[in-house]
Structures are given as structure tokens and as C-alpha cells.
Homo-oligomer: A and B are copies of this chain.
């Protein structure tokens, strides 16, 4: 492989494959375009790429320390290097990847210290958010969350592990969205995404990490406008997740980016 095929179309299957993985909550595309080849191309911007990598991390398809080479990402998304570089810059600013000078971008591999920072922050934020949402939730948001939970149990039923992991995390994000505060929801999303990495590194069993009906319990309390209960349930829920982790023994990880992104 000699030169980077800048902006070259890539096999439809590749792109389609990538797209299909997370259909349950697809990010908005910046626009669409198709051309005479019959290949659908998406006009992809930084935000889109960031979104995609977020999802891949959430689904444990991108393991900590995986290298994200510009070349691969360019090919995967069919964009030039600039786009990829800028997306990587954003991801690094959000603490999802480490950007090492002249070496490249690597999915962060949070040590025990950073991992507990993440859960500390969540423990501080999310119960308060749950309380806040309980005090005033619109019917639209309530339905949105109910739909989401039914997606979760669906995924649990059909044993689609990756989906379940992602959806589990997304519940917390969407709950924050229901607060109507965009700042908070952005922060929670970042935290949840990192949590997903942490669970991949230190998670013992998957059962513990995605407790069965807890999201529903929380939402019920919210629906009944019981602020205290909502807060308490959220605290317990987060504790339960944290208990499912063992910070002394990081799980070994194998990551082949090309395979993960469905390119082989």
C-alpha cells in the first residue's frame, strides 16, 4: 500500500457494515449524497466521526490502547486526513483518546486512579440529575426513556451483547438529556463513554455491569415524581456497577482495528 487514497470511495460493504452496527441510535448525518457508481457516500464531518468512535467505544469494539491510525480512519470514513485529524483532536480533548506526538492516537486506557475519578464524578452528578428530572419530566422525555428501556430488554432478550452494553450506557446519557441541560448531558455522555472503557478493562462479569431491571426502577420512581427515591436508586445503581469492577486486575485486551471496524 503506497499512497493514501485520499477521498477515494471505499467498498460499500465496509461503510454499510459500519453503519449497520449501531442502527438503534444512529447519529445524524450531515447530509447524504450518492453518485453514479451506485455507492452511497455520506458527507461526513468531524462530529460524525467522533460519534462513530464514541459508539465503537461504548460497544467495546474499540478496546483501550487500540491505535487509531489516520490512514485507517481516512479509508474507513472516506474522508481526507484533515477531517480525521480534527476529529481526533476533539476526541483527545474529551479524554477518549490519547494523542501522542509523532506516534498517533490511542484509545485511552484509564488506570485505577482515573477510573475512580470517572465514577466519583458520576456519583456526584447523576443522582442529582435523577432527582432533578424526577421533579419535572415532560411526557415526551418520559416516553423516550420508556422506549429506550424496551430497546434494552429487547437486546437482552436477543442476546446481542454489544447493543446491550451500548444501550445500557446510553440510558444514563438520555436521562441527562431529559434534564434539558445540554451541558450536563454532554458531560454525562463523556463519563458514560469512559465508563464503558473502564468496564471493558476492569469488569468482572457482564451481569453485574448491566443489572437487569434497575433502569426501569429508576424511571418508575421518576415517573411517580419521587425525587428522593430516584436519587437513592441511582446511587445504588452506580454503586452496583462499581462493585462489578475489580481495579486490581485489568483484563487483557486484544484489539485489531481493521477487524473491529469490519475491514478484513
Contact = CB atoms under 8 A, between A and B. Distances in A.
A246 interface: no
A68 to B, nearest CB: 17
Q: Of A46, A86, A124, A183, which is in contact with the most chain B CB atoms at under 10 Å from its CB?
A: A183
Interface string A180-218: 111110010011000000000000000000000000000
Contacts of A117: 180-183
Contacts of A129: 124
Given A125-B124, A128-B128, A183 B95 contact: yes
A118 B124 CA distance: 17
Interface string A159-192: 0000000000000000000001111100100110
A124 B184 CA distance: 9
A236 interface: no
A100 to B, nearest CB: 14
Contacts of A86: 86, 89
Nearest to A50: B93
A120 interface: yes
Classify chain A's interface size: 20 to 34
Given A124-B125, A124-B129, A128-B124, A183 B93 contact: no
A121 interface: yes
A67 interface: no
Interface string A45-76: 01000000000000000000000000000000
A125 B191 CA distance: 15
A132 interface: yes
Interface in A3-45: none
A238 interface: no
A90 interface: yes
Contacts of A184: 120-121, 124
Contact of A93 (B93, B114, B124, B180): B93
